Structure 1
Amino acid sequence: MRRRFRAAECAVAGLLLLLSTACGSRLPESDFENRPDDNAPTRAGGEPIRVGVITSATSPVGGDAFTGPRDGAKAYFERLNARGGIDGRRVEVRTCDDGGSGVGNNECVHKLVDEEKVVALVAGASLDYAGASRVSRARVPDIGGQPIGPAYDTYPHLYSIYGSLAPRNGKPGWDGKLYGGTEVYRYFKREQGARTAAVVSYNQPASAAYARLITRGLEAEGYEVVTEQVDFSLPNFRAAAADLKEQGADLVFDAIDSYGNAQLCKAMDDVGAEVLAKVTNVQNWSSTVREDYKDSPRCRNALWATGSSRNHEDTDHEAVREFRDATKDLETHSQWQLEGWAAAMWFADAAESCARTGITRACVDRFVAEGGERGEGKPYTADGLLLPVTYERLAEPPKARRTCVSVARWQDNEGWVSQGDMNSTCFDVPQLAYEP
């Protein structure tokens, strides 16, 4: 269940003020049974294997906020096709921009699932995944999507890039509650010696609610927590920065948007607030840090990112080197691109395992649902790019779990520098409930 606090940070912290969770109708598992069979094998003879990618490429958040997973997946499929495709068949990628709206998302689902008859959806990133229930009813595997809302913890046949232990019976999580671990907070306390943490939010309901979630996690790990709330319309980040300096905060977490983060960092530099870490999330784990934080060099060099995938700048790792080589022509690089690449690899591994019997929706879905690392039935890692991903359906939420975390720190002279190996940076932590 790596859709924990860190996974919520992935999409919520940067986009919190604009998120609108709409999961469509919530149907019991029985409603997914006895459907017409859309799983007849694709005809042989070199016909392309068609996959779909739904992205909020244009949305209120901005033109490039959600495109990373799509770009990473396309790069993987381009390289795969250059090497002969899957069983001699090329993968044909059909993309759809849902515009960041529920209506647009439903239209994309109809186009790709019903009209284009894609075998699977891959590396999705939608602000409002309103068509999730339709995808599930059609039994189309949705592989490696970003869990921006609770859909991936609600419906069968949907598989987020971080995995899930939830029943996925048509209701989010367990009786409407999801569970998150405190491994990020444990890491900074145990490995970096942090004791006091500041949480900055807007005086806006969603922002304040997420700040309370972070605060609960920090308090569970024994931190002294300093809360700073600024006005959404006229934010006084300088006052917040001065207070967190006065309070001696070691860490700074936030529940504000990307623009606000940049302004907060500038204010911290202006007042001389130096912290051990300004902790950001996987969505902001990108090569645009110098530009985004150009006015705050001290704060910029205190940026740390946490996630569930291997640092996209860790080129000592063979799988990362291949990703970087295939995406060398992209203007920027990001962790979401790497996760999109991993999602595409996941589909390719599933399709290859089905080649002898027929690459169908049902076969691909079975491979992912059962957990397949090169067909061995082990938690999936995408050749080491992901922390092991599993999908189970636990009747009760776990009270505690051993969870691992990928950590990197920004340094101007080196970029994002990995802090230890993600597969050994692991902690036994409690799982705390929260409502999506």
Structure 2
Amino acid sequence: MVRPRRSRAAEAAVAVLLLVLSAACGSRLPESDFEDRGRGTPVRDSAPIRVGIITSATSPVGGDAFTGPRDGAKAYFERLNVRGGIDGRPVEVRLCDDGGSGVGNNECVHRLIDEDRVVALVATTVLDYAGASRVSRARVPDIGGQPIGAAYDTWPHLYGIYGSLAPRNGTVGWDGKLYGGTEVYRYFKREHGARTAAVVSYNQAASAAYARLVERGLKAEGYEVVTEQVDFALPNFRAVAADLKDQGADLVFDAIDSHGNARLCAAMDDAGVEITAKVTNVQNWTSTVADDYKDAPRCRNALWATGSSRNFEDTDHKAVREFRDATEGLKTHAQWQLEGWAAARWFTEAARSCAETGVTRACVDGWMSRSQGYTADGLLLPVRFERLAEPPATRRTCLSVARWEDGRGWVSQGDMDSTCFEVQQLSYTP
């Protein structure tokens, strides 16, 4: 079947990129609300403040793969409007589904920026951010987007949810390279004594490339590394599971799609593989684990997720509890929803700072460029935007870690503000 294979190919590519890190109508707002001319104070009114959210809600990856940040941001703005909006002005959210294509993305950018005249984009989550340069040229702040590609490390006026140290002058990273740390591998080595790690990938370009990067990072931290590659069309996960058992791997990392991960876990359970952790990423940090891995109870309870935001299950934390209260009507919860909520909060703080002089694109962008160390009231690890001429050789990086437990869900492992390591930064080509 051709169609399912294309869908899985796209999903595999998206998972790899994430792990590397990671109706149009005229505006009701006066033109002066969108331009910072530096003279006088605009007349206050109750006109809506318009923002845009671009999401690949329909794409080859599937209908719900990218919608988490959008849903979290919408929930935040809905609650904000119930509470009076920003200085008495409601936030009007304009949604655009780009269909997961570059053409569709450019159409969304044109509609929201040129026709709807949004003040900012919020929680962008797209498969192909082809319109990123246009957003940048228009000086429209894009706040709290998910860095699925390299756009947030390339263009000014784009502020990814995890920050960036790159020059962002129109060229990707530093001379076409980005850098990532080895903090995840350091964590499992220091906290759990892991020494042997397996990396499972497809014989597909993006999957194999990311697997090589993980292998480099593991070796840099002193691990013995076992590499496992399976055929993309006909993956033999039983053979992989048997070898993992023979090799005695402590950890399993992967560069495969979520469907493949579920099948791999089922094969590991069937083979009796015992591991310290099956490590996944923020995209798979969801409340649907029990269903997604229903055929692999042992592997399911060895799932660990790492990221840069506070566990959405940590309802003892005030900011998390506010998010969960506002989203209790959703059928499922996910870490990406919390990060979309944080992105909307980020925009709101920027807009409130501009309420006296006018909520313009320029004012919001200026506040964003100065928002060093932003945490969304503790939902995010401190976010920084610096334009370093040279990439850092090492960096102190903190980490949010959670483990799945049946009956409890995702259980945080330590506090993300103190789970920190000084680690080397390894280059890669996105």
How many angstroms apart in 1 are the aligned matches of 2:176 and 2:260? 30
Give 1:39's match in structure 2, choosing from 21, 32, 35: 35
What residue is the counterpart of 2:296 in the other structure?
296
Q: Does 1:432 align with 2:420?
A: no
How many angstroms apart in 2 are the aligned matches of 1:14 and 1:337? 21
Partners of 1:136 and 1:156 within 8 A in 2: yes
Name the aligned partner's letter for residue 279 of structure 2: V
Partners of 1:14 and 1:255 within 8 A in 2: no
Partners of 2:307 and 2:400 within 8 A in 1: yes
C-alpha deviations, 1:358-386, integer Å up to 9, x for none?
A: 10001101111111xxxxxx410000000
What residue is the counterpart of 2:57 in the other structure?
57
What residue is the counterpart of 1:349 in the other structure?
349
What residue is the counterpart of 1:394 in the other structure?
388
How many angstroms apart in 2 are the aligned matches of 1:39 and 1:117? 11
Post-superposition offset of 1:330: 0.1
How many angstroms apart in 2 are the aligned matches of 1:39 and 1:338? 31
Partners of 1:20 and 1:127 within 8 A in 2: no
Counterparts in 2 of 1:195-210, with a 5 A limit? 195-210=195-210
TM-score normalised over the length of structure 1:
0.91
Partners of 2:250 and 2:275 within 8 A in 1: yes
C-alpha deviations, 1:234-276, integer Å up to 9, x for none?
A: 0000100110111000000000001000000000001000100
Counterparts in 2 of 1:100-249, with a 5 A limit? 100-249=100-249
Name the aligned partner's letter for residue 251 of structure 1: L
The residue matched to 2:278 in structure 1 has which SS? strand
Partners of 1:13 and 1:281 within 8 A in 2: no
Partners of 1:285 and 1:334 within 8 A in 2: yes
What residue is the counterpart of 1:369 in the other structure?
369
Partners of 1:13 and 1:256 within 8 A in 2: no
Post-superposition offset of 1:44: 3.0
Give 1:416's match in structure 2, choosing from 377, 393, 410: 410
Partners of 1:351 and 1:359 within 8 A in 2: yes
C-alpha deviations, 1:59-104, integer Å up to 9, x for none?
A: 0000000000000000000000000000000000000000000000
Name the aligned partner's letter for residue 197 of structure 1: A
How many angstroms apart in 1 are the aligned matches of 2:357 and 2:138? 21
The residue matched to 2:262 in structure 1 has which SS? helix
Post-superposition offset of 1:43: 6.1
The residue matched to 2:342 in structure 1 has which SS? helix
Partners of 1:250 and 1:277 within 8 A in 2: yes
Partners of 2:15 and 2:256 within 8 A in 1: no
The residue matched to 1:191 in structure 2 has which SS? helix
Counterparts in 2 of 1:2-21, with a 5 A limit? 15-17=11-13
Q: Does 1:261 align with 2:257?
A: no
Note the aligned Cα RMSD (angstroms).
1.8
How many angstroms apart in 1 are the aligned matches of 2:204 and 2:110? 35
Post-superposition offset of 1:322: 0.2
Partners of 1:304 and 1:409 within 8 A in 2: yes
What residue is the counterpart of 1:309 in the other structure?
309
How many angstroms apart in 2 are the aligned matches of 1:132 and 1:241? 41
Aligned length: 405
Partners of 1:245 and 1:273 within 8 A in 2: yes
C-alpha deviations, 1:122-158, integer Å up to 9, x for none?
A: 0010000000000000000000000000000000000
Partners of 1:39 and 1:361 within 8 A in 2: yes
In structure 2, do the counterparts of structure 1 residues 323 and 19 end up closer, same or farther at CA, with 3 Å as the change threshold? Answer: closer
What residue is the counterpart of 1:374 in the other structure?
none
The residue matched to 1:409 in structure 2 has which SS? strand
Partners of 2:152 and 2:159 within 8 A in 1: yes
Post-superposition offset of 1:15: 3.2
How many angstroms apart in 1 are the aligned matches of 2:207 and 2:16? 13
How many angstroms apart in 1 are the aligned matches of 2:116 and 2:224? 54
In structure 2, do the counterparts of structure 1 residues 409 and 283 end up closer, same or farther at CA, with 3 Å as the change threshold? Answer: same
Q: Percent identity?
A: 78
What residue is the counterpart of 2:3 in the other structure?
none
The residue matched to 2:197 in structure 1 has which SS? strand
Post-superposition offset of 1:206: 1.1
How many angstroms apart in 1 are the aligned matches of 2:387 and 2:198? 36
Name the aligned partner's letter for residue 405 of structure 2: Q
The residue matched to 2:186 in structure 1 has which SS? helix
What residue is the counterpart of 1:6 in the other structure?
none
How many angstroms apart in 1 are the aligned matches of 2:313 and 2:411? 7
